[in-house]
Structure 1
Amino acid sequence: MDELIEQFAIEARELVQRASDDLMALETDAGNREHLESAFRAIHTLKGSVALFDLVPMQDVLHHAEDLLSQARAGTIAVDATLIDPLLSVIEWVDDSIEAIVETGHLSDAQDKQALRLLGLLASEMTERESDEATLPLTAIPDWAFSLAERFSPSDTSGSTIAIRYEPHPECFFNGDDPLATISRLPNLRHVTLSLKEPFPSKNDYDPFRCSLVIEAVTDGPLSDLEAVFRLIPDQVSLIELPRPDDQPASMATDDPPARLADRQTTMRVDTARIDKLIEIAGELVTAKNGLAPLAEDARSRGDGALSRRIGSSHAEIERLVASLYNAVTQARMVPLEQTFRRFPRLVRETSVKLGKALDLVIEGETVEADREIVENLFEPLLHLVRNGLDHGIELEGERLRLAKPARGRILLRARRRGDQIEIEVTDDGRGMDAEVIRKAAVDRGLLTSHHAAALPESEALLLVFAPGFSTTSEVSKLSGRGVGLDAVQRAIRRLGGTLDMQSTPGSGTTFTLRLPISFSMTQLMVVEVGGERYGIPISEILETQKLPAAAVQPIKEGRAFILRNRTIPLLDLAELLQVPRTRAAVQDFKILVVQVGDDQIGVAVDAIAERAETLTRPLSGLLQGVTGVAGTTLLGDGRVLLVLDLAELIR
């Protein structure tokens, strides 16, 4: 991929998301000047980026969208749904077009046709707005511009007087920017004021390479000339056209100035592949570190205790350093869930309009952080759950009123951190699920017999919705079908190392709860031998180990079991589960791992328990991807590849 195109795609997606967030915020708070300015800057910057490529239709559409927002900033048009709807359509079209631009370098034919439709939509909107322009009041201007207007009245010339607030980026010098030189290039400059964003630091804290200036100026130059001067830094500048005396509004409402750059988080964009490479190197260090333990044991067995102790001491120190390195790298991969959650407001808005349902989406806990891979892979399963709630959970307004519910439905998307896990809830206050309806659907689809279905407790009956192909609806919706695909959602969450639960009350709503690890961390494994091969099992899955004589194991029907503390424990053989030849002699004592599967404890017999190891497990890829019962692979200290098993999946 061309490096310039790649950079454009990254920045375009960020600008599209920012504009979308600001427009959605303006829909509920039309008077919020900060969101209006931010939306304008995002579309203005996006238009400038598009100009670098041969994307004339997109540039024209963004130019018209920018004109509409410019009129809204000037107060000549109102900020309402008739303005926001076409602008959101433009944002959605740009978002959909980015992938084609990355792949081909230009817009597809279908996207070109959409550009013509959007141009017509924006042009008609501008025409309608212009016809009512005389009746619309002028907008309030920010305090800083009002202060400049009081001190420097607009000139008597026919040109416009512009108030300028320029807040250079703290690291602007490293970008080759000279703020004072930039200001000196402004035409017809009448006034310049310099101030600091924050109190002047002490001599010890002073950094001559950071810019802390705030520059305010007044000029009689035309707005187009000023925009040309600041074309490369539009996000650092606010330009306000001061009203002439005969246009001065009766009162100037106060408005907060744009967010200062000093308050923004300073970040450095790093290719995710570089972070992944560091994770890989940390994993290799873990493997190399594990090789020191058998080396120390070998030295001890040869009678060289001093050497063994020195190797053991080095092993402990390297183990500490590797753990610190790995924790630091995994922290670098942590991103807020906001990156996924922020995609839902626009989706819910558009879908609710199509379905004719009035509802509110409430998002909580979007600042909770998790590993980048987990956050990126959460969107699809969450999308399915949210669409289910929209399509088949939330009732129509008339039905809700008959049930004495609020006219507007509600979907809650909430995240919180619990220890080393994140918990995400998707809750709707819709019609909920009826366990009896689920039982009947399961019988009709041949998943259960009538007798088994009737014997199921309500909590277990609800879990039938996770069975492959299960659905309580006879018609397939264009959006979703309550129950259809929930097995795929559950598989996706399990691949991320998490679980998915559901609770539902008929008439009150449904809650899906996702529990996932915050990051993919190093795993403590127990290495076992079966059929002459070694396998790893996460110690977190093992409750305890037991060594039993053969006489303690009793046949029960077609299986076997043993008694552990007055409790009957079923016994399975790992060799049979893996379908590998058994090497353990029939009269040999049983070496058993006791594991928890659901609410049951189950014993798993192995040939031998070898050792414990701390490793970084890699997920399966290629031909092995999706193999049942195998969670991933890792390397032992001697360089051998070890398959890491998922016992719960194997037993099921």
Structure 2
Amino acid sequence: MDELIAQFAIEARELVQQASDDLLALEGNPTGRDRLEGAFRAIHTLKGSAALFEFGPMLRVLHRAEDLLSQARAGKILINANLLEPLLAVIAWIDDSIDGIAQAGLLPDAQERQAPRLLGLLSVETADHDADAVGDARTSIPDWATSLYQRFASSGNDETVVAIRYEPHAECFFSGDDPIATMARLPAIRHLSVSLKEPAPSPGAYDPFRSNLLIEAISAGSLAEVVAVFRLIPDQVKLEPISGPAGGAGPTAVSDNTSVRPSSIMRVDSARIDRLIEIAGELITAKNRLAPLVDDARNHGNGPLARQIAASHTDIERLVASLYSAVTQARMIPLEHTFRRFPRLVRETALKLGKTIDLVIEGETVEADREIVESLFEPLLHLIRNGLDHGIEAEADRVQQSKPARGHLVLRARQRGDQIEIEVADDGCGMDPQRAKATAIARGLVSESQAATLSEREILQLAFAPGFSTAAAVTDLSGRGVGLDVVQRSIQSLGGTVDLRSTVGSGTTFTLRLPISFSMTRLMVVEVGDERYGVPIADVIETQKLPMHAIQPVKAGRAFMLRNRTIPLLILSDLLHLPLPDATPGDLKVLIVKVGPDLIGIGVDAIAERAETLTRPLTGLLKGVSGIAGTTLLGDGKVLLVLNLEELIQ
């Protein structure tokens, strides 16, 4: 892919999302001036990018959209559905075009054929005009900007511009700044004046290395372009975007005084961050190799060397932990990157279903690992569609049940310790356990005798079984028996869990719990025959040395007593389908783990060591293998499988 096209695709997606957010916000609050300005800037920047690559049809559509927004900013047309519906259609069209442009470097033919229709939708006649709104749209403009604009407008110009007042710092030359060179980088300069801030000193007191300039200018470029020129010297400049006179009434401020802030964000290829994670993982492995050297030195009678190695091991462990923490923080992004894609989706889906639905998003600033955030879109999409289609009733049905006519869908996130908790809740009809039970029996997911023993909560969990669906007919959104099982598998592959709660007539809530990041894990290395496996120490409540005579047969299984409590016993070699060892040890090493409310013993041949390592999920053909949480490297360079004991037991 051409590098410039790739950059265009990245920036276009960000601008499309920004414009979509602002337009949807204007739909709920047409007086939101900041949102109007944000939508205008996004469309204007998109138009400039399209012009660079000569995407003719896209350029014409965006130019027409920009004209409508410009008139809305000037108060000439009303901000309502007649304006916003065509603009949202344009945003959706551009969004659909980006992938094709990224692949071929051209606007796809299918998208190009839609351009005339969009141009028709964007005709000025479709917008509602409001001459009285012009005066209301005006805001005060600083005197310096008014005076500057009047000098500029005397030549007959009435375009939208940015007024600039630049006072270079007296010591600017020592900072490497060149005020005149800075002004030369401004786009579309329409007026420029240079004067002295203070009266000129006498020739004897003149200091050629101190700046005494006051530079004022008018630029017809976009505010974003002007801000970029002054991004390193925000404290030395004032900017004022001004719209041209409407009906000869004078200039109009299009936003409050704009302060320029230096950018604190640097776009870095995610592959570079991933490489740092890999290096940190290798350092952890190398650090683990030092621990056995301490024992070797001590066993050879070299105490001083053992102490030196131990001290170095402690220092390296601290530094590696700091490095790993820093690079994992660099991978953290807010959930907003995924959440912000849903308002437009909910709006379009609700229109298709003939429902009116309010989407409430909370906690979008909560951060998690980039891989987790990006992987959340598909499962959340299934859950939100489930709420829109299955959960929330039609407007007439809701009114009949004394519910608000508009449905309510909540997407909420919060941080709990080292986990994030995400809820998708609707106020719809809820899930009827009896109907769910009948559906599961009809689809052969459980037998009637099995269903009779299930609790109401267990019946609801059948919704996650492959093939389960209560939809009466197959539609574009549901009825194919694919959905919640995919959600569960996706979340489990990220190391998380899904919980379902539902009340008939009140609604349904799905709760997702996931780790914030793929972090270092403390492992207990256990031996089974000639094989070694890792078990997260957090999963192990305690360990026991169990004499063989203490094991008692219970029906088809085995158990033992622990502090007057009967504990079921499972053998890890049986769970892994490994051959039994030739010789039976005198004592069995047992890991006591908790599965749900129950304690279960897991028998192993030996407990070898403990290690702090970086565990990575399985990929490729092994992705999703039940009972395996991931892999890691030991100090000797061997790959260790990390077990998910709960999955193995189930």
Amino acid corresponding to residue 507 of structure 1 in structure 2: G
CA distance 1:571–1:193, change in 2 (3 Å): farther
Structure 2 residue corresponding to 1:378, chosen from 337, 360, 376: 376
Contact 2:328 2:517 (C-alpha < 8 Å) held by counterparts: yes
Structure 1 residue corresponding to 2:138, chosen from 132, 141, 144: 141
Deviations 1:67-124 (A, max 9, x none): 11122122222111111111111111111211111111112221122223222322xx
CA distance 1:140–1:557, change in 2 (3 Å): same
Helix, strand or coil for the counterpart of 1:631?
A: strand
The corresponding residue for 2:447 is 449
The corresponding residue for 1:227 is 220
Contact 2:189 2:220 (C-alpha < 8 Å) held by counterparts: no
- Aligned ranges for residues 75-154 of structure 1 at < 5 Å? 75-122=75-122, 125-129=123-127, 137=134, 140-144=137-141, 148-149=145-146
CA distance 1:40–1:146, change in 2 (3 Å): farther
The corresponding residue for 1:527 is 525
TM-superposed CA distance for 1:160, in Å, is 2.8
Higher mean C-alpha displacement, 356-365 vs 550-559:
550-559
- Aligned ranges for residues 268-279 of structure 1 at < 5 Å? 268-279=266-277
CA distance 1:467–1:193, change in 2 (3 Å): farther
The corresponding residue for 1:636 is 634
Matched, 1:3 2:11: no
Residues in 2 aligned to 1:478 and 1:189: alpha-carbon distance in whole angstroms: 59
CA distance 1:102–1:163, change in 2 (3 Å): closer
Residues in 1 aligned to 2:477 and 2:568: alpha-carbon distance in whole angstroms: 44
Matched, 1:187 2:190: yes
Higher mean C-alpha displacement, 575-584 vs 137-146:
137-146
Contact 1:472 1:482 (C-alpha < 8 Å) held by counterparts: no
CA distance 1:476–1:279, change in 2 (3 Å): same
The corresponding residue for 2:242 is 240
Contact 1:20 1:88 (C-alpha < 8 Å) held by counterparts: yes
TM-superposed CA distance for 1:478, in Å, is 1.3
Higher mean C-alpha displacement, 145-154 vs 346-355:
145-154
Higher mean C-alpha displacement, 176-185 vs 601-610:
176-185
Higher mean C-alpha displacement, 74-83 vs 176-185:
176-185
Residues in 2 aligned to 1:62 and 1:257: alpha-carbon distance in whole angstroms: 25
The corresponding residue for 1:74 is 74
Contact 2:398 2:404 (C-alpha < 8 Å) held by counterparts: yes
The corresponding residue for 2:500 is 502
Structure 1 residue corresponding to 2:343, chosen from 345, 349, 364: 345
Contact 2:523 2:534 (C-alpha < 8 Å) held by counterparts: yes
Contact 1:163 1:216 (C-alpha < 8 Å) held by counterparts: no
CA distance 1:67–1:448, change in 2 (3 Å): same
Contact 2:187 2:226 (C-alpha < 8 Å) held by counterparts: no
CA distance 1:521–1:259, change in 2 (3 Å): farther
How many pairs align?
622
TM-superposed CA distance for 1:554, in Å, is 1.4
The corresponding residue for 1:43 is 43
TM-superposed CA distance for 1:356, in Å, is 1.1
- Aligned ranges for residues 423-572 of structure 1 at < 5 Å? 423-481=421-479, 484-572=482-570
State the TM-score, normalizing by the size of structure 2: 0.88
Residues in 2 aligned to 1:230 and 1:385: alpha-carbon distance in whole angstroms: 40
The corresponding residue for 2:259 is 260
Contact 1:182 1:229 (C-alpha < 8 Å) held by counterparts: no
TM-superposed CA distance for 1:601, in Å, is 1.8
Amino acid corresponding to residue 627 of structure 1 in structure 2: V
Contact 2:83 2:126 (C-alpha < 8 Å) held by counterparts: no
TM-superposed CA distance for 1:375, in Å, is 0.7
Contact 1:388 1:481 (C-alpha < 8 Å) held by counterparts: no
CA distance 1:192–1:339, change in 2 (3 Å): farther
Percent identical: 60
CA distance 1:565–1:15, change in 2 (3 Å): same
Deviations 1:131-159 (A, max 9, x none): x5778745523322687448975866654
Helix, strand or coil for the counterpart of 2:12?
A: helix
Contact 1:544 1:595 (C-alpha < 8 Å) held by counterparts: yes
RMSD: 3.2
Contact 1:279 1:330 (C-alpha < 8 Å) held by counterparts: yes
The corresponding residue for 1:290 is 288
Contact 2:414 2:422 (C-alpha < 8 Å) held by counterparts: yes
Amino acid corresponding to residue 486 of structure 1 in structure 2: L
Amino acid corresponding to residue 220 of structure 2 in structure 1: E
TM-superposed CA distance for 1:597, in Å, is 1.8
Gaps of 5+ in 1: 196-207, 220-225
Residues in 1 aligned to 2:380 and 2:98: alpha-carbon distance in whole angstroms: 23
Higher mean C-alpha displacement, 240-249 vs 104-113:
240-249
CA distance 1:301–1:167, change in 2 (3 Å): farther
CA distance 1:390–1:192, change in 2 (3 Å): farther
The corresponding residue for 1:205 is none
Amino acid corresponding to residue 407 of structure 2 in structure 1: G
The corresponding residue for 2:611 is 613
TM-superposed CA distance for 1:227, in Å, is 3.0
